[in-house]
Structures are given as C-alpha cells and as structure tokens.
C-alpha cells in the first residue's frame, strides 16, 4: 500500500488558542477517512495547511510523489457569464468530451452544459465544482463539508461516485449518515491531537466511550489504593515501630499514578422551552400558489399541518422549498389562494440570509438577554449559549465581529430561547458539528412545538421528521411514506437514470439466465464464507483489544503487528464482501 501523505509533529496556534499540538497522521492509498471534531477543533485548518493555504507553526507535511490532491472548498472561481462547459474546460485544461463524460456522472448534461454557471441553483453549482475537481484526476480527495447546500439527489450521486473512487478520501461532514455511508475509518481532532481509528464512526464512538470508562475505572481503583495506604501512614507514621513500614507505604503511594484524561468535551444537550399544549390544526393551506411576480413555482397547494407535527420539506434544489417556507412565514407574498395560521400562534423563521442581517452592536450575552422572554433565567440563557459554543470569552464578543457561522448559531440560540409555537427552519444545521446537529435534532423531536423545516442532512431529518412534504415538478404535497422509503425510492430513480439496471428486468434467454443463477450461487457461497472468516477475525481482534485495555501500560510488538494484520485482512474481506453484495443486488 503506497503512502500518499505523511504529517509529523504538526503544530498550529491562533494566539493563545492551540489548534494542532504536535499532531501526526499517515494517509495511505485507498483509505476513506471521516474527519470529526467539534467546531474550532482544527479540521478545516488541517486541510488548509495540507494544500498550502495556511502555514503551520511547526512540523512537516510530506506529500509523496504521485499524490494528486483534489480539494473541495466553498469558494467559487466562476467567470462572469461563463457556461458550465467553458468553466470545466478552463479549470481542468481537458477537452469538451472528457468534461462531458465526468459531468454526466452527476447528471449535468445536454443543455445544462451550455447554461451560465452562476445562473444555476446552489446545489448544481456545487456539482460543477465537484466535476472540475475530479477532472484533475486526484488520488487524494480533501472534502470539507461537501454536503453543505447539496440536495439529497446530489448527495446520493456523490456517494455513488465515492463508492467507486480508487483513491483516498479525507472527509469533513456534520452529517453522520453521510460519513457512515462513505468512510471506513475515523479521524478525530480533539485537544490538538489527531486520533486515527481504523474502523467506521459508529465503532469508534463506542470504542472511545469504552476507553474512557476503563480509564475512569482504573483511576478510581488507584485512588482507592492510595487512600488505603495513606490511612496506614496517618495512623502509624508517628510510631517508631511502624516508621519503616510507613515510609515504604509512602513510596508505594508515590508510585501509584492515575492516567491523565484531557478535559472532557461536554456532551451537548439542548432544551427547548415547552409551549402550551394545544390540539388541532396549526396551518391550513387552500389552493395556494407560490412564486415571484414573473414566475410561478408551484400552484394548487392544499395542506394541513397539525399542532406538534415535525414536517420535513424535501426536494431538489431549485424546486421551491425555500420559496414555500418564505411564503408561509410571511416573508414573500403569495400569488394566489390562501394560507391561515391558528389564532394567536407565535412563529419563528430561520433562514440562511437572516444571520447576515444581525448587526446589533451588542455582546452575545447582552443580545441573548434582550431577546429572551422576561421570565427566562440567566442560567437558562447561559446554557443555551453554551449549546451553540458561546462560552466564557465568546459571550463577550460583539455581534459585528462574529463570523457568518457564529451569527447563524446565535440566531438559532435566540429562537430556541423564545417560546414559539411554530418553528420554520431553512437549513438550520449548516455551521454545526455533528454532535450539536444531533443534539438539536433530539431537542426538536422531543419538543411540543410545530416544525416545518428544510434540511438535506439525513441524520437530522431521520431524527426529527414525523411527516414529509415533497416539492417536485411545480407541486407541493404530502408524501405518505416515511423518510427511509423516500430516500430508497430517490436512490432507485437515480440508479435508473445512471443506467444501473437490474439483471432480473432484462430480456435474457434460458442459457443466459442459467449462467446468472450459477453466478449467483457462487457469489452467495463466497459471501457466506467471507462472513465466517470476518467473524473469526473479529473475535481474534476483540481478544487483542481486551488485552490492550487490561495492559495499557505495556507494549507488545507481536500483538500490535497482529492487530495491524487483522485490520488489513478485514479491510480486504469487507471490500470483497461489499462488491459481492452489490453484485447480488443486480443479479
């Protein structure tokens, strides 16, 4: 396995804040690594240092010969009135047919190639940037929040591409589901260190919790022993007959060391104030038409939303989700028809543009105090501020100096403090790390407020939504299945568009069908054998990990070597297993 990137002793600080502290990382060929960590931990900084956009204070980065890095950022370099094809050819230096071939994988084809890039919806602009990056033929992708502003269809297309990508991937994402589907290993940046765990994110989080539990247990046992020995010293230390024993006990106490645990990152738990419980209809919509003076987006909308429901508004970018939300929020005039909120209902609206209008010359702390209901305690204000990473010195920051992401988090803290009966949320998870995303999702799910929200974050939608409104082809209507089925059917539609057909639907003669049956039987047999082999390897791995946990102060070269061998074998077998699974799906 060839090495693509080696990072040694990387150190980076911004003033007194240490971001990376003597951190190391080795990236080999065909690794798919999900990068996690709290906001401000250093994930994006790491990427910027790798590509030379920022300088490290110390340490070295060795990009090995043959490594071609593809770096996806939020920055755009589209030319004025430049078409998609013109941009792709200019940025890549490739011929039009090569550009068209890669563009087709992301369903950018035909007349869309002649469209002006800046006229496209945000999701399609991101597709164009992805295509331009891939035309460079990289073997190491650095993807910094690639799912921001991507609709679900584009996310699935990106997943399909990453599944078949032959190089390595470092992926930052606040969507746990996207990391689960695309990455096999996990890199956490925490307290300035980088910890690479050779398993998927779910297994890493369980492992981390177990490790901390073991350390705390070991420390408790050590402290108990020290206490017992100290009691002997306190009782008998002054007696001449026991002096030598007491001295020996003191030496034993000195040798007993606890394991340092870095200050733990507090687990985010968000509480949303409850509102008065009421039954009935929160929103009634009749023959509504939404859009703009020169363009109708959707018409004939007839919907009812009951109090307490959590409705996800889903659909591709450009279909009209935001237009619909802005209309029922009263931010945009309806074209025709009617909508009616229940009498006296209090509504909060969060949208992408709102944080930019937040220009009060107040500190974060004073602003939250001014917008919170009168009966809100200072403790509740501080808790909500802390949930969105405003603690200590951050509370003293004045709003004009906040970044766009900080203003977005402040807006969310504001509307969650207020006792609104209805929340209208347009992409609320951007600028949040995945732990805060999930904490916010659970708080919204468990609240008794009514919620209509737009989000392409699958984890967030899965936790919150108990109903779906689909915006598609100038129609806005209820989707009468759950979110899992929505994703499944969308995925199938995309596979059909990409030409991934099922063999079962093909018109085959008898001999060809027999060949497929034999192929299926052989694949099934090999699949079961692989499962037995992986089970055996996992058992051996578990024994080794238990040894490491019980003997954390010891080093065994043989055991470390065997663990590495097991990981390599498991990786190969899992890859073969997945290929067989995919093969069986289409036979």
Q: Considering only 81-95, 157-171, 184-198, 558-572, which range has the smallest mean pLDDT? A: 558-572
3-198 and 281-494 share one CATH topology?
yes
- Alpha carbon distance 347, 419 (integer Å): 9
Query: What's the CATH class of domain 281-494?
Result: alpha beta
Confidence of residue 557 (pLDDT cuts 50, 70, 90): confident
Domain chopping of the chain, boundaries? 3-198, 281-494, 504-586
Q: Is the pLDDT of residue 83 over 90?
A: yes
pLDDT in tens, 32-63: 999 998 877 889 899 999 999 999 999 999 99
On average, the pLDDT of the chain sits at 84
> pTM here?
0.71
Write down the pLDDT at residue 252: 64
- Alpha carbon distance 67, 469 (integer Å): 45
Query: What's the CATH class of domain 3-198?
Result: alpha beta
Share of the chain above pLDDT 70, in %: 84
pLDDT in tens, 320-356: 999 999 999 999 999 999 999 999 899 999 987 787 7
DSSP-derived letter for residue 501 is: -
Write down the pLDDT at residue 262: 43
Q: Is the pLDDT of residue 254 over 90?
A: no
Q: Is the pLDDT of residue 198 over 70?
A: yes
Residue 5: phi and psi, rounded to 5, are -150, 135
Pick the residue with more confidence: 220 or 197?
197
Share of the chain above pLDDT 90, in %: 39
pLDDT in tens, 400-423: 888 777 888 899 999 999 989 999
Q: What is the 3-state secondary structure (H, E, C) of 336-404?
A: EEEEEECCCCCEEEECCCHHHHCCCCCEHHHHHHHHCCCCCCHHHHHHHHHHCCCCHHHHHCEHHHCCH
- Alpha carbon distance 486, 481 (integer Å): 7
Are the C-beta atoms of residues 20 and 82 closer than 8 Å to each other?
Answer: no
Are the C-beta atoms of residues 170 and 27 closer than 8 Å to each other?
Answer: yes
Write down the pLDDT at residue 266: 40
């Amino acid at each position: 396995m060839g090495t693509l990137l080696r990072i040694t002793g990387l150190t980076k600080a911004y003033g007194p804040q240490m971001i990376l502290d003597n951190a190391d990382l080795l990236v080999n060929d065909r690794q798919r690594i999900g990068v996690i960590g709290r906001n401000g931990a250093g994930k994006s900084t790491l990427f910027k240092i790798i590509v030379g956009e920022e300088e490290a204070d110390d340490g070295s980065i060795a990009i090995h010969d043959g490594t071609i890095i593809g770096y996806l950022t939020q920055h755009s370099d589209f030319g004025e009135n430049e078409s998609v094809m013109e941009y792709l050819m200019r940025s890549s230096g490739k011929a039009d047919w090569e550009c068209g071939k890669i563009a087709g994988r992301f369903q950018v084809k035909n007349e869309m190639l002649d469209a002006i890039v800046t006229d496209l919806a945000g999701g399609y602009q991101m597709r164009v940037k992805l295509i331009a990056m891939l035309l460079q033929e990289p073997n190491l992708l650095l993807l910094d929040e690639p799912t921001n502003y991507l609709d679900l269809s584009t996310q699935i297309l990106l997943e399909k591409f990453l599944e078949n990508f032959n190089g390595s991937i470092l992926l930052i994402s606040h969507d746990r589901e996207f990391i689960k589907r695309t990455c096999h290993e996990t890199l956490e940046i925490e307290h300035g260190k980088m910890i690479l765990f050779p398993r998927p994110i779910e297994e890493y989080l369980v492992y981390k919790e177990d490790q901390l539990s073991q350390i705390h247990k070991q420390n408790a046992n050590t402290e108990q022993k020290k206490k017992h020995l100290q009691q002997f010293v306190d009782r008998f230390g002054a007696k001449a007959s026991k002096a030598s024993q007491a001295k020996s006990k003191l030496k034993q106490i000195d040798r007993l060391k606890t394991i340092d645990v870095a200050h733990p990152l507090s687990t985010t738990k968000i509480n949303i104030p409850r509102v008065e419980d009421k039954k009935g209809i929160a929103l009634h919509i009749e023959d509504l038409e939404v859009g703009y003076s020169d363009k109708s987006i959707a018409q004939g909308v007839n919907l009812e939303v009951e109090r307490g429901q959590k409705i996800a508004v889903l659909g591709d970018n450009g279909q009209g989700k935001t237009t619909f939300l802005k209309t029922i929020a009263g931010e945009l005039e309806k074209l025709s028809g009617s909508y009616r909120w229940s009498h006296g209902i209090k509504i909060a609206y969060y949208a992408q543009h709102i944080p930019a209008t937040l220009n009060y010359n107040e500190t974060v702390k004073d602003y939250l105090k001014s917008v919170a209901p009168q009966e809100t305690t200072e403790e509740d204000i501080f808790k909500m501020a802390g949930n969105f990473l405003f603690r200590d010195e951050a509370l003293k920051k004045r709003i004009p100096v906040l970044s766009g992401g900080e203003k977005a988090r402040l807006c969310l803290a504001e509307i969650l403090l207020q006792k609104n009966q209805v929340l209208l949320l347009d992409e609320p998870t951007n600028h949040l790390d995945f732990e805060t995303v999930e904490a916010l999702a659970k708080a919204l799910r468990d609240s008794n407020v009514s919620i209509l929200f737009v989000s392409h974050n699958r984890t967030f939608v899965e936790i919150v939504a108990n109903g779906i409104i689909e915006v598609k082809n100038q129609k806005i209507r209820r989707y009468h299945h759950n979110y899992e089925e929505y994703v499944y059917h969308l995925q199938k539609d995309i596979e059909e568009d990409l030409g991934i057909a099922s063999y079962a639907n093909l018109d085959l003669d008898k001999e060809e069908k027999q060949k497929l049956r034999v192929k299926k039987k052989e694949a099934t047999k090999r699949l079961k054998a692989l499962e037995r082999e992986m089970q055996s390897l996992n058992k051996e791995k578990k024994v080794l990990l238990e040894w490491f946990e019980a003997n954390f102060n010891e080093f065994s070269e043989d055991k470390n070597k065997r663990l590495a061998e097991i990981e390599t074998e498991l990786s190969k077998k899992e890859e073969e297993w997945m290929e067989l699974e995919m093969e069986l799906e289409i036979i």
